[in-house]
Amino acid sequence: MKKLNNRAELEKMIKRYRAGKSSPAEIAFLETYFEHFDQRPDILSSLTEADRALLEQETKARIDQKIFQAEKRKFHRLYPVVKIAAALAVIFSVSIYFYLHRKMEIPVTTSISYGSNINPGGNRAFLTLADGRKINLDDARIGKLAQQGSAMVSKADDGQLIYDLAANPSATTISYNAIETPRGGTYQVVLPDGTKVWLNAGSKLTFPTVFAGMQRKVQLVGEAYFEVAKDKQRPFLVASGNQTVQVLGTHFNVSAYPDENNIRTTLLEGSVKVSNVGTNQSELLVPGQQARVKDNGPILVSAVNTGNAVAWKNGLFSFSDDNIEDVMKKVSRWYDIEVVYKGNITKEGFVGSVSRYEKIAEVLSTLELTGLVHFKVEGRRVTVMP
């Protein structure tokens, strides 16, 4: 590893970047560092004031517009359906860097080679109707799929699933449907009240075909991002394990995977009430806060970077001092792989972002650039090694 310890070395790196002569590791370091510049004040303390000012000035300008334009054209050619905001985030978040012993380090170039490659996930889900029938939404045609009581269920041109009560908005007959994404799948559904839900891989949402009564309640296993339609008379509730989230209309993310230690609720807009039904404890969140609920323990609330919590929705893996086991949980769900560990695996944290639209070899190669881990791929089995 080559340590960045002085201003002269920093200036040389920036000159190489401007001239288009940087190594992939140096480009990754500079651009990813800027992406997390305001999120990691602890990293800033490893540089002098002059170094910080120089790096901030240069990276804010993206240093080299020629590289930016080339990467942008390449990105749009490969992924034309991704929105501009997500595309820009991916362009400048193409690699992982790490923080170790309060020094910023530049990793050596990887020599990784995989005998096989695995494609990323995509829009894949199954819809289970009230009578038990199951529809594979991958294969389903565009247009009307089913009539569920007073709700017409259809698949839109962009693939999202829509429940429409326009024909009978005052309907009260309740039946339940469920949409489930497999490992390697994601999907968007518009519920009968207009609430939009994005499901991450390996998730399941159970909901009524009409929200009757004084509340709107759904059940979630896995992870989902909610944009709840406003209704001051009927609160919207998300039940996940021991946790219930109650809102009137706002944007938030819930991560409730069974293999995770905590259920995490992250608020982006408005306010939510998070309750632990096992302890009867409740906490009100404001934007920028995250609640963590573990079994019958206390609700822990902290300030977080909300962008990390919803990065998956925007086509990114985003890590904030995550250990390799947590990193690989996200990777394994999206690529539908088996992960095993061999040897003395690092406990260091990984910070940064990488596109979820790349093949797995690109993601693993980026992680290997840190020098902390190595991988062996055999079919759909990935071995993590020191």
Domains 1-109+315-386 and 227-310 share a fold: no
Q: Report the C-alpha gap between 364 and 359 in whole angstroms.
A: 9
Q: Report the C-alpha gap between 283 and 300 in whole angstroms.
A: 9
**Would you give the DSSP letter of residue 261?**
S
Q: Report the C-alpha gap between 239 and 293 in whole angstroms.
A: 12
Share of the chain above pLDDT 90, in %: 42
Would the CA dihedral through 316, 320, 321, 327 be positive or negative? Answer: negative
pLDDT band at 310 (very low <50, low <70, confident <90, very high): very high
The 3-state DSSP class for residue 211 equals coil
Residue 49 pLDDT more than 90? no
For the chain, the structural domain boundaries read: 1-109+315-386, 119-212, 227-310
**Which pLDDT belongs to residue 50?**
60
CATH class of 1-109+315-386: alpha beta
- The pLDDT tens digits for 192-215 are 999 999 999 999 999 998 888 889
Put simply, whether the predicted model's pTM sits higher than 0.75 gets the answer no
Residue 38 pLDDT more than 60? no
Share of the chain above pLDDT 70, in %: 69
Residue 364 pLDDT more than 70? yes
**Which pLDDT belongs to residue 11?**
66
Q: Report the C-alpha gap between 75 and 203 in whole angstroms.
A: 28
Q: Report the C-alpha gap between 384 and 377 in whole angstroms.
A: 9
**Mean pLDDT of all residues in the chain?**
77
Indicate the residue type of 111. S
Whether 383 and 375 have beta carbons less than 8 Å apart is answered as yes
pLDDT band at 358 (very low <50, low <70, confident <90, very high): confident
Bigger pLDDT: 27 vs 152: 152
Bigger pLDDT: 143 vs 90: 143
- Residue 57 has a CB neighbour count (10 Å cut-off) of 11
- The pLDDT tens digits for 178-198 are 999 999 999 999 999 999 999
CATH for 227-310 is 2.60.120.1440
Would the CA dihedral through 8, 98, 368, 60 be positive or negative? Answer: negative
The 3-state DSSP class for residue 119 equals coil
**Which pLDDT belongs to residue 207?**
94
